[in-house]
Structure 1
Amino acid sequence: MNIAPQADMPSDPVASEGVVAAGAYVDGRRVANIAIEEASSWRSKPGHVVWIGLHEPDMTILTSVQQQFQLHDLAIEDANNAHQRPKIEQYGDGLFIVARTAQLIGDSIAFGETHLFVGEGYLVTVRHGASTSYAPVRARCESCPRALARGEDYILYAILDFIVDNYSPVLETIQEEVEAMEEQVLASAMTRAQIERLYLLRRDLLRLRNAVGPLVEVCRRLEHDNLPMIRPTMQPLFRDVTDHVRTVQEQIDSLREVLAFAFEASLLVGQAQETAVSKKLASWLAIIAVPTAIAGIYGMNFKHMPELEWEYGYFAIIGLILIVCAGLFWRFRRAGWL
């Protein structure tokens, strides 16, 4: 294999806003850090693969990339507008793939996008929004030249696997909060702040599920369809990514169900507490009604009331009130109302 002299050792990285990394590889080893304008010439060399990473590039950089790899106008337009749903599209001999990324920033999930262009001798990633740098992916691939030597489809697999793996820390953090919330909900009714937090968690999980769900179809097509640049030997790896995505889906559904049960349990606890309070109030009102009724009767200004002339009438009425109130208290206490 003929390699140009300047490719013996990687040159200094190209400093350009929006360009994170751009390298040329031969047999899984980086032989040069290149400029975007050089990508086409490096790609055309036998056995060379160009891997370019972009972060929120402007249209000038995207146009330059398009010219180097003859990318479709619609794909470039989509890559410039970071509001796409996960999908895979074929333009000639190249693939355009969109995947959603997620990060937990503060108390909420922030979403981003990664657009991937894959073709013979090149792979370009375009990151928008909340997204972890793919520098660890590049470092891991470069540390294993045998794996990286498989070509563009292996790089595609490594990036998609990295995206899916990064869903797990988000779900683990949310799961810890959900478990803590679940323990508290049976102890007492949820406060307004807790209910608002529960709603936000369910909303974020729904958005995460909508971001993850279409990725199953993307990986399924990479696994089963006869797409250009995807060799049959790589399909088992994409099958593994598909399994991971489905596992993430199941975790999201499980967490949403737990939050729904927690909210329902909180409502039941609140209703039970309200019922208990109502029973107590009704019991005490019934007890208080006895002296109130008797006092009301004897507080009327009638002249002829036989009990008013009885020597022990006062003591008898007080005793009657105490006996009736004590009887009611015992009855309500036995019934569990007090």
Structure 2
Amino acid sequence: MVINCVVYRHGEREEHVNIDEVSDVLKEDKAFVWLGLYQPDAEFMHRLQDEFGLHELAIEDALVAHQRPKIEQYGDSVFIVVKSAHLDDSQRISFGETHFFLGKNFLITVRHGSTEGYKEIRARAEKNHAMLCQGPGYALYCLLDFIVDNYSKITATLSERIGELEDGMFTMRFNNNTLEKVYHLRRELLSLRNAAMPVTEICPQLVRFHEDIIPKNLRAYLRDVQDHAHHVMIDAEDMRETLASAMQVNLALVSVQQSEVNKKLAGWGAILIVPTIIFSMYGMNFPDMPELHTHFGYPAVVAITLIICCVMWWRLKKAHWL
């Protein structure tokens, strides 16, 4: 489906055009077309192939989602695939794809999956006439910058959630629900890292090998996008390591707690074994046991048992077993 198809002349938004009229605009020197699409069908994409002179392999890739992020050159145009991401209502990362066809006087964006629209980005770019007159390269920069900024927002949100987990690490045990959350967080961070990493390779390739499409004054902006993507990649990896460390620390704490419980059980067991042995011995009812016939036999046995138990309790308490 066509979101919009707009002509820009000298950095100014001129008009919406039909696809059949694009070929006339492409012949102009100071004009370019910015076309936005969402999950177009094959018939429409083949129309674009004829109008813009796009390569058939790039058209095939743009029709199918779940492409690997990449940058490829086909003649005078460049085909780019980038993963987009945002947090959905359940605060889980939702990934989509944006495919870019970039030429000297056109930019085509093809969105697939769960992606945010680029209406606000287009409006923001249109306010900067001086940069927009540089051509579609600036529009591409605005979109890449928006995608990477979303990466950064996600890492900031996930960092807060991980901080909450760390704060509660020493006061709670990880139950199955918490472990599941940690596992999904690590998976999402890995996916986010894998989405940001190709951007760090795409931007320098645009700067070095496509000087005819990317003006010199845009290269610093693309390097800035590359730097931000690199930071996202590092932050995502650091947070994954933090979660792994949190799980290891919590498992160690659980092991220590279990050891403390075992020590207490062993200590009380040692204390209780004393009366068990003594009372079981005197419960055998042999008639020739001399202590059974003494007047102070019973209180003496009870007193000795209590003294031994108290001494053992004191020693075990001193050794921090109780």
Q: Aligning the two structures, in what range does the TM-score lie when normalised by the shorter sequence?
A: over 0.9
The reply on whether 1:254 has 2:238 as its aligned counterpart is yes
Match of 1:280 among 241, 247, 264: 264
Partner of 1:26 in structure 2? Answer: 9
Aligned partner letter, 1:67: D
Secondary structure, counterpart of 2:174 in structure 1:
coil
Aligned partner letter, 1:309: H
Partner of 2:79 in structure 1? Answer: 96
Matches within 5 A, 1:124-143: 124-143=108-127
Q: Deviations over 1:164-212 (max 9, x none)?
A: 0111221122111110111001112212111110011001111111121
Partner of 2:131 in structure 1? Answer: 147
User: Does the 8 A contact of 1:117 with 1:125 survive in 2?
Assistant: yes
Measured after TM superposition, the shift of residue 227 of structure 1 is: 5.0
Aligned partner letter, 1:135: K
User: Does the 8 A contact of 2:84 with 2:97 survive in 1?
Assistant: yes
- Distance, in Å, in 2 between the alignment partners of 1:61 and 1:333 is 81
Match of 1:61 among 35, 44, 69: 44
Partner of 1:15 in structure 2? Answer: none
Aligned partner letter, 2:279: A
Across the aligned residues of Structure 1 and Structure 2, the Cα RMSD in angstroms comes to 1.3
Partner of 2:199 in structure 1? Answer: 215
Secondary structure, counterpart of 2:161 in structure 1:
helix
User: Does the 8 A contact of 1:153 with 1:229 survive in 2?
Assistant: yes
- Distance, in Å, in 1 between the alignment partners of 2:279 and 2:60 is 86
Partner of 2:24 in structure 1? Answer: 41
Match of 2:291 among 294, 302, 307: 307
Secondary structure, counterpart of 2:25 in structure 1:
helix
- Distance, in Å, in 2 between the alignment partners of 1:107 and 1:235 is 34
User: Does the 8 A contact of 2:264 with 2:321 survive in 1?
Assistant: yes
Task: Please identify, of 229-238 and 19-28, the stretch whose mean Cα deviation from structure 2 is larger.
Answer: 229-238
User: Does the 8 A contact of 1:188 with 1:269 survive in 2?
Assistant: no
User: Does the 8 A contact of 1:95 with 1:228 survive in 2?
Assistant: no
Measured after TM superposition, the shift of residue 319 of structure 1 is: 0.5
Match of 1:164 among 148, 169, 193: 148
Gaps of 5+ in 1: 1-17
- Distance, in Å, in 2 between the alignment partners of 1:285 and 1:202 is 43
- Distance, in Å, in 2 between the alignment partners of 1:226 and 1:56 is 27
- Distance, in Å, in 1 between the alignment partners of 2:235 and 2:249 is 21
The reply on whether 1:77 has 2:79 as its aligned counterpart is no
- Distance, in Å, in 2 between the alignment partners of 1:272 and 1:76 is 59
Partner of 1:10 in structure 2? Answer: none
Q: Deviations over 1:123-172 (max 9, x none)?
A: 00001112221111110111111111011111111111111011122112
Partner of 1:120 in structure 2? Answer: 104
Secondary structure, counterpart of 2:168 in structure 1:
helix
Q: Deviations over 1:34-73 (max 9, x none)?
A: 1122222222223110000111111122122111101111
Match of 1:185 among 169, 173, 178: 169
- Distance, in Å, in 2 between the alignment partners of 1:336 and 1:223 is 66
The reply on whether 1:231 has 2:220 as its aligned counterpart is no
Partner of 1:270 in structure 2? Answer: 254
User: Does the 8 A contact of 1:161 with 1:241 survive in 2?
Assistant: yes
- Output the TM-score relative to the length of structure 1: 0.92
Secondary structure, counterpart of 1:83 in structure 2:
coil
Partner of 1:295 in structure 2? Answer: 279
Secondary structure, counterpart of 1:166 in structure 2:
helix
- Distance, in Å, in 2 between the alignment partners of 1:51 and 1:42 is 11
User: Does the 8 A contact of 2:3 with 2:38 survive in 1?
Assistant: yes
Aligned partner letter, 1:94: S
User: Does the 8 A contact of 2:70 with 2:202 survive in 1?
Assistant: yes
Measured after TM superposition, the shift of residue 226 of structure 1 is: 4.2
User: Does the 8 A contact of 1:102 with 1:111 survive in 2?
Assistant: yes
Moved over 6 A (4+): none
- Distance, in Å, in 2 between the alignment partners of 1:147 and 1:109 is 32
User: Does the 8 A contact of 2:134 with 2:215 survive in 1?
Assistant: no
Identity %: 43
Aligned partner letter, 1:69: F
Gaps of 5+ in 2: none
